[in-house]
């Protein structure tokens, strides 16, 4: 199984330039709202047309601007689950599924629908309309409909965005179980790094319509290489840098010089440090500096310190356990440290 996408489309707010290839895996398109994730899925599904480029699914050309190939959505064999589920409101669950397999012979059509209703535990709900279902049941019905025609690729566009945290967690668990036996490419568009981490094996970051290289999702979270990847992976602290030598950068906005664990390239423009990677330093440690405590925020399960490093003009966010902060007895200045392996050297711009 393989989906290859290389497309360009001029939009009102930005230009979409996306290039990636899956390999029978679950891949996340990860990016902030408005970066082009949904438009990319619509181009793959045939709901939108790129200005130029090429889309190939399992050696079948779905779109090729040079050869003037543009298959209709019905011929692409792509399943698509949109944010609002898009079930036909005037049809029952069974009728919604039947509408997708109209071209099959009658016996095969009903057999395919009955099988999906059984697998998705929807048999008792088959005669109900979407308005009579819970959010979770509507999600299951929409996924069953997306899969009943046996697509070669499944596109998921922020499928859990409308759910509260508990329902979202339940839906994620259910989705994972239902998709486990499916031998097809799954492409998940999401802005949620944790969702991507839990559900996908690989990830492609989108920023302002441009795609970055495909990477293993765990590799990306552990070692982002660009500012946009670090941002979407949850990093809160960034500073412009000036390279000093192969393993030292001066962080202009924090007014400190930091040692790194990896060699610094000439394309490095920013340093990033995660809030939980900062710690209370001991004497003799590398990368230690004094910082004034500007604000203390009592978060749900931790204490957040907003710190002003001496000689800098940008604040740093640091997260400690509540017990550790309580034991420090509210100091006005702290000695901060960050291990060299936790200093991320990044290309790109904020």
In this predicted structure, what is the pLDDT of residue 82? 73
Give the model's pLDDT for residue 1.
66
Q: Phi/psi at 219 (nearest 5 deg)? A: -65, -45
Tokens 């508990």 appear where?
166
pLDDT confidence of residue 128: 96
| CA 182/CA 101 separation, integer angstroms | 18
- Is there a contact between 188 and 27 (Cβ–Cβ < 8 Å)? yes
Strands 333-337 and 256-259: unpaired
CB of 256 closer than 8 Å to CB of 242: no
**CB neighbour class for 24 (10 Å; exposed up to 12, middle 13-18, buried from 19):** middle
* Angle formed by the axes of helices 135-148 and 106-119, nearest 10°: 140
- For residue 240, what pLDDT is reported? 97
2, burial (CB in 10 Å: exposed 0-12, middle 13-18, buried 19+): middle
Start-end of H helices in the chain: 37-45, 93-98, 106-119, 135-148, 165-179, 193-199, 217-222, 227-232, 322-328
Low-confidence residues of the chain: pLDDT under 50: none
Answer yes or no: are the C-beta atoms of 156 and 29 closer than 8 Å. Answer: no
Predicted pLDDT at 207: 92
Map out the domains of the chain as residue ranges: 3-226, 237-346
Among candidates 12, 228, 55, which has minimal Cα distance to 155? Answer: 55
> What integer pLDDT is reported at residue 163 of this predicted model?
55
Say whether 213 sits in a helix, a strand or coil. Answer: coil
Residue 34 to residues 7, 11, 30, 90: CA-CA distances in angstroms?
Answer: 17, 11, 11, 31
Domain 237-346 has CATH 2.40.50.100: yes
Class for domain 3-226, per CATH? alpha beta
């Amino acid at each position: 199984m393989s989906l290859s996408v290389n497309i360009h489309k001029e939009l009102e707010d930005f230009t979409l330039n996306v290039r990636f290839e899956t390999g029978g895996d679950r891949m996340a398109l990860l990016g902030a709202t408005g970066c082009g994730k949904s438009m990319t899925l619509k181009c793959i599904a045939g709901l939108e047309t790129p200005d130029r480029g090429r889309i190939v699914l399992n050696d079948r050309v779905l779109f090729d601007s040079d050869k003037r190939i543009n298959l209709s959505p019905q011929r692409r064999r792509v399943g698509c689950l949109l944010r609002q589920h898009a079930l036909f409101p005037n049809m029952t669950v069974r009728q919604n599924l039947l509408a997708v397999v109209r071209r099959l012979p009658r016996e095969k059509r009903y057999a395919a629908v009955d099988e999906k209703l059984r697998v998705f535990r929807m048999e008792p709900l088959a005669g109900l309309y979407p308005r009579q279902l819970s959010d979770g049941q509507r999600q299951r019905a929409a996924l069953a409909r997306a899969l009943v025609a046996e697509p070669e690729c499944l596109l998921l566009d922020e499928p859990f965005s409308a759910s509260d945290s508990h329902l979202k967690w339940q839906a994620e668990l259910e989705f994972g179980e239902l998709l486990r036996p499916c031998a097809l490419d799954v492409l998940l568009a999401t802005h949620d790094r944790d969702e991507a981490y839990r559900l996908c094996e690989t990830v492609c970051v989108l920023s302002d319509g441009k795609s970055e290289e495909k990477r293993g999702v765990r590799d990306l979270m552990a070692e982002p290489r660009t500012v946009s990847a670090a941002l979407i992976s949850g990093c809160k602290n960034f500073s412009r840098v000036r390279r000093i030598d192969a393993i030292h950068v001066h962080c202009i906005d924090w007014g400190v010089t930091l040692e790194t664990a990896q060699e610094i390239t000439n394309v490095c423009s920013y340093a990033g440090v995660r809030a939980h990677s900062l710690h209370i330093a001991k004497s003799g440690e590398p990368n230690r500096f004094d910082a004034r405590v500007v604000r203390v925020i009592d978060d749900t399960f931790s204490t957040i310190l907003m710190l002003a490093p001496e000689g800098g003009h940008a604040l740093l966010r640091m997260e400690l356990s509540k017990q550790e902060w309580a034991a420090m007895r509210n100091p006005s200045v702290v000695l901060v440290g960050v291990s060299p392996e936790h200093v991320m050297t990044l290309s790109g711009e904020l």
